[in-house]
């Protein structure tokens, strides 16, 4: 498969074992006429929600490009934890023990082998701009990079040496234009964005005039179905509640600015380069 950057690309993060959100993402790509070869997932196919193996099957059936997330790295190696780097005693760490052990027992050997085969990065050129897709950070795939942490963005842009970095892992959509390039997190589809709405987020990269346009978009999906599946599986209820409230069960990983934005409805973003 070859990326055709003369045509629109779709980018999205974190399906997080949310097979219904992934189905909605695929339907949206097909509605927009975007081929699987022009669709890139930034990793963490498996995480919080109830259907890890089903989600791996669905994304492999779709055939889009997938960059390895920390969850893929850890599950491929049958590691004992999710590798998010949550601090001991934090709510994220306590909750991660629950969902990771659930996923670990449900992901098949062929799915682990597929995870082990995933690339850590995807690179392509779009209108003369170098675009580099990664999961967390350039050196560590579990680094959280948020919009308010401009020092981290600048450091990562310096390491990545690209005009546009498309990243996942952090779970919140944003576009940051900095002196060293643009950091574009299109958001994740497996969990809402802590903005008090149940929608999830993805991004688009497309040619516009002589340049490139980056944008973020809401995605509506069957969030009640996803929450019900989690409750039937009887685990990780705080994340099932999050699917229906649009609010994360823990804000441990968020910097102060992102914490302060809790329950504030996000607006779609766009930047032309």
**Binding residues for Fe ion (CB under 5 A):** 44, 69-70, 169
* Token reading at 204: 């688009």
Q: How open is the CA angle 65-69-72, to the nearest 5 degrees?
A: 95
Q: How far is the CB of 33 from Fe ion (least distance, A)?
A: 29
Q: Please say which residue, 20 or 169, places its beta carbon nearer to Fe ion.
A: 169
Q: Please say which residue, 19 or 170, places its beta carbon nearer to Fe ion.
A: 170
Q: How far is the CB of 47 from Fe ion (least distance, A)?
A: 7
Q: Please say which residue, 85 or 225, places its beta carbon nearer to Fe ion.
A: 85
- Nearest Cα to 247, choosing from 235, 264, 226, 222? 264
Q: How far is the CB of 129 from Fe ion (least distance, A)?
A: 25
Q: How far is the CB of 44 from Fe ion (least distance, A)?
A: 4
Q: Please say which residue, 152 or 271, places its beta carbon nearer to Fe ion.
A: 152
Q: How far is the CB of 19 from Fe ion (least distance, A)?
A: 18
Q: Please say which residue, 47 or 126, places its beta carbon nearer to Fe ion.
A: 47
For Fe ion, which residue has the nearest CB?
169
Sequence-ordered list of residues with C-beta below 8 angstroms from that of 106, at least 6 positions apart, any chain: 52, 53
Q: Which residue has the tokens 């001991």?
A: 88
């Amino acid at each position: 498969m070859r990326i055709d950057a003369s045509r629109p690309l779709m980018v999205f993060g974190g399906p997080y074992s949310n097979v219904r959100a992934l189905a909605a993402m695929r339907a949206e790509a097909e509605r927009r006429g975007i081929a699987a070869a022009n669709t890139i997932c930034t990793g963490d196919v498996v995480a919080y929600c109830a259907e890890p193996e089903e989600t791996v099957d669905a994304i492999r059936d779709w055939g889009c490009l997938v960059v390895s997330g920390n969850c893929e790295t850890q599950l491929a190696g049958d590691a004992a934890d999710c590798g998010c780097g949550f601090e001991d005693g934090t709510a994220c760490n306590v909750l991660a023990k629950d969902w990771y052990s659930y996923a670990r027992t449900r992901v098949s050997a062929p799915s682990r082998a597929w995870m082990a085969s995933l690339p850590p990065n995807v690179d392509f050129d779009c209108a003369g701009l170098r675009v580099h897709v990664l999961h967390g950070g350039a050196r560590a795939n579990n680094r959280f990079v948020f919009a308010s942490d401009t020092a981290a963005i600048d450091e990562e842009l310096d390491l990545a040496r690209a005009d546009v970095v498309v990243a996942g892992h952090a779970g919140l959509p944003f576009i940051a234009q900095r002196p060293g390039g643009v950091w574009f997190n299109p958001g994740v589809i497996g969990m809402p964005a802590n903005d008090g709405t149940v929608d999830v987020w993805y991004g688009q990269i497309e040619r516009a005039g002589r340049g490139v346009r980056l944008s973020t978009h809401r995605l509506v999906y069957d969030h009640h179905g996803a929450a019900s599946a989690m409750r039937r599986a009887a685990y990780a209820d705080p994340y099932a509640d999050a699917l229906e409230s649009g609010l994360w069960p823990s804000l441990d990983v968020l910097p102060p600015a992102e914490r302060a934005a809790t329950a504030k409805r996000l607006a779609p973003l766009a930047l032309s380069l």
